[in-house]
Amino acid sequence: MSNAFFFERPERGVVTVAGPDRAEFLQGLISNDVAKAGPDSALWAAFLTPQGKFRHDFFLVEQAGEGAGFPRLLLVCEAGERLMDLGVGLRRFVLRADVRLGVARELGVFQAAGEGAAQAIGLAPRAGAAKPFAGGVAFVDPRLAEGGVVILAPAEAARAALAEAGVAPGERASWEVQRIRCGLPDGSRDLQVDKAILLENGFDELGGVDWKKGCYMGQELTARTKYRGLVKKRLMPVRLDGGGAPAAGAPVTLDGKEVGELHSVADGWGLALLRLKALGRAGEAETRLEADGARVTPELPDWMRLPQDERAQDERAQDEKAQDEKA
């Protein structure tokens, strides 16, 4: 039996990119490989500053169809001024490319979550799986299937199709806790505009960067961060126990010294950007991470790899290779 539910996301909007050069145009600008996005496959990507710092992130999927403006690529991004900023940023690079940028004001953005959400909508419970739905598109969160399903469709049609699929209206709060526990950032709520670095925020492990696609704006810093091992901080889920109820933006301290900051917070959980050096010390006796009097305990998801984990994997691989050569 499905326990799926849905809610509307008015803080999200949809930028459209149409025209013969749409894929080639985006390919040189964003962190992921546009060729991997289609009517049956969504992906996560970022638009960076020329210096390689976070500017926007979005889900990317293709909507098939006939007539003016179809097929088109849909960029599910933050709404309002943030959407306008993304549109202006992209438009600067149109030049002679045969593309048409727009805003899909006819599409509402909905989130389905809970056990069985993907199956109820007719999707495989696989990250990035997509299909046409209710005159629009539905897809599983391309980072982790546990992130739920995103629906882009005219509002009334979406509500009717979800009701027919047995997905009832629900509250956002439980999805927020699930998102945070999975370590999934939610745009500029969790990623500091013009300052955040992709590899500090899970873009590598969660498939938001393609290392083989070729050049894109901001690629140099992203690649240098990876290959020189320059990641010093990570955004990660934390459990908040005791004391007060720290809010987003609260500093995280260790022995009175600031070592990070809380971002999203929901029901005793948070996403915190923490200095990696502080994690080792936090396990020492009588030493703990705190935020506004609450104890902060990192709870790393299975997908997250910290630098020491990667070094250990490299060392094991070298040992295995040496043993094979001896044999």
Residues paired with 75 in a beta bridge? 15, 60
| Per-residue pLDDT tens digits for 121-130 | 999 999 999 9
Output the average pLDDT for the chain. Answer: 92
131 burial via Cβ count (<10 Å: 0-12, 13-18, 19+) = middle
Residue 300: pLDDT over 60: yes
194-298 fold: Elongation Factor Tu (Ef-tu); domain 3 (2.40.30)
Q: Nearest CA to 147 among 76, 84, 86?
A: 76
In whole angstroms, what is the distance from residue 64 CA to residue 262 CA?
40
Look at the block and give the residue holding tokens 């060392």: 315
Give phi and psi for 184, each to the nearest 5.
-95, 115
State residue 2's pLDDT score: 72
Whether the CB-CB separation of 162 and 170 falls below 8 Å is answered with no
State residue 244's pLDDT score: 75
Question: How large is the average pLDDT for residues 173-201?
Answer: 97
Whether the CB-CB separation of 130 and 123 falls below 8 Å is answered with yes
In whole angstroms, what is the distance from residue 62 CA to residue 286 CA?
53
**Quick one: CA dihedral 292, 295, 299, 300, positive or negative?**
positive
Look at the block and give the residue holding tokens 């923490």: 274
Instruction: Determine the residue type at 8.
Output: E
Report the percentage of the chain scoring pLDDT > 90: 84
For residue 66, CA distances in Å to 14, 72, 129, 134, 145 come to 19, 10, 22, 16, 30
The structural architecture, per CATH, of the domain 8-165 is 2-Layer Sandwich (3.30)
Q: 3-state class of 297 per DSSP?
A: strand
Residue 230: pLDDT over 80: yes
Domain ranges of the chain: 8-165, 194-298
Q: Nearest CA to 76 among 135, 123, 12, 149?
A: 12
State residue 245's pLDDT score: 83
| Per-residue pLDDT tens digits for 251-292 | 999 988 999 999 999 999 999 999 999 987 766 656 789 999
